């Protein structure tokens, strides 16, 4: 099923001169110098923390030296129009603004399939990538969207994603996610040097009822000592990790604390949905 792509201009929604099979495929036509946000819908046209996504997009533009002020009501109406016209059901969508023409927003949508129950029940394997910290980690830029594709396309078979390390071996984040480890009874995650996630906001909200939170990243040398680990992103929620590089985590199965956090996350998300 093809991706539906339009450009929201001052004159309304306009077609683009290319086609794509997915958001990943469509990304190759998008500018290398810009900012974006990406998330999904629930019950067709409901969204979670859409204003937080758009706040971060405008903040990313400022961090990248771009001028961007989004007309949120107009953007939401355009997305709703596209979603209803496409009739995909739930969708995953990306909003992109280029430095050259920030008044022209690229809107791309594809059918959305949440992570399978099998994936959640079995967990995922990840690898670390040395010296891969992003230059401007606080900004969600299209330059990184293109660069991360090189990492993702080189992942070994069976590896779900990669974790970015700085020069000291600190585990910062995933290529498109935030990373968390449970170490010495605390939930650990990087408090700086990363893109602050929207899903991460929910984790911070619900974690206090499960275990202490410490915004201090672990290093790769700490991996043998951690009890559990997971990643988060807006479109996936909490994804349990069962192996980092060659180190098995939590006995090779999703840990109980991770699954408790996932249940709390999902309940919180459902309670805060709103219409586009």
194: CATH: 3.20.10.10
Query: Quick one: pLDDT at residue 81?
Result: 98
Q: Same domain, yes or no, for 89 and 225?
A: no
Say whether 9 sits in a helix, a strand or coil: strand
Verify that 38 and 148 share a domain, yes or no: no
Mark whether 133 and 86 lie in a shared domain. Answer: no
* Model pLDDT for residues 80-117, shown as the tens digit of each residue: 999 999 999 999 999 999 999 999 999 999 999 999 99
Instruction: Identify whether residues 233 and 267 lie together within a single domain.
Output: yes
* CATH number, domain with residue 75: 3.30.470.10
pLDDT category of residue 1 using cuts at 50, 70 and 90 = low
Asked if the model's pLDDT at residue 127 lies above 90, the reply is yes
29 & 92 share domain:
yes
Residue at a domain's end among 111, 127, 155: 111
Residues 136 and 250 in one domain: yes
Residue with tokens 């590089």: 245
Same domain, 80 and 183: no
How far apart (Å, rounded) are the C-alpha atoms in residues 181 and 244?
A: 11
- Asked if 161 and 93 sit in the same domain, the reply is no
List the domain range (segments joined by +) for residue 102. Answer: 4-111
Q: What is the mean pLDDT of the chain?
A: 97
Which 3 state secondary structure label does DSSP give 117?
A: helix
The answer on 259 and 132 residing in a single domain is yes
Does 149 lie in the same domain as 46?
A: no
Domain final residue pick, 111, 138, 158 = 111
Number of domains present in the structure of the chain: 2
Q: Does 198 share its domain with 155?
A: yes
Q: Each residue of 144-184: pLDDT tens digit?
A: 999 988 899 899 999 999 999 999 999 999 999 999 999 99
**Residue after which a domain boundary falls, among 68, 95, 111:** 111
Closest CA to 188 of 167, 204, 176, 165: 204
> Would you state the torsion angle of the CA atoms of residues 156, 158, 161, 164, taken in this order, to the nearest 10 degrees?
-50
pTM: 0.96
Same structural domain, 94 and 121: no
């Amino acid at each position: 099923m093809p991706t539906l792509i339009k450009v929201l201009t001052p004159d309304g929604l306009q077609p683009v001169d290319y086609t794509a099979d997915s958001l990943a495929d469509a990304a190759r036509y998008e500018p290398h110098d810009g900012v974006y946000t990406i998330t999904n819908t629930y019950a067709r046209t409901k969204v979670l923390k859409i204003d937080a996504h758009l706040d971060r997009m405008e903040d990313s533009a400022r961090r990248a030296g771009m001028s961007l002020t989004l007309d949120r009501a107009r953007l939401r109406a355009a997305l709703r129009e596209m979603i209803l016209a496409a009739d995909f059901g739930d969708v995953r969508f990306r909003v992109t603004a280029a430095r050259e023409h920030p008044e022209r927003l690229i809107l791309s949508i594809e059918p959305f399939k949440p992570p399978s129950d099998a994936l959640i029940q079995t967990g995922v394997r990840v690898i670390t990538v040395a010296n891969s910290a992003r230059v401007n980690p606080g900004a969600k830029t299209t330059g990184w969207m293109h660069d991360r594709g090189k990492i993702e396309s080189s992942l070994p078979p069976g590896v779900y994603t990669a974790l970015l390390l700085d020069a000291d071996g600190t585990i910062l984040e995933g290529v498109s996610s935030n990373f968390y480890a449970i170490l010495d009874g605390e939930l650990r995650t990087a408090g700086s040097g990363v893109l602050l996630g929207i899903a991460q906001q929910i984790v911070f909200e619900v974690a206090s009822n499960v275990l202490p939170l410490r915004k201090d990243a672990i290093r790769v040398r700490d991996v043998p000592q951690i009890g559990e680990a997971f990643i988060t992103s807006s479109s996936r929620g909490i994804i349990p990790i069962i192996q980092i590089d060659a180190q098995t985590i939590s006995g090779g199965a999703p840990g109980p604390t991770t699954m408790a956090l996932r249940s709390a996350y999902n309940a919180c998300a459902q309670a805060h949905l709103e219409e586009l």
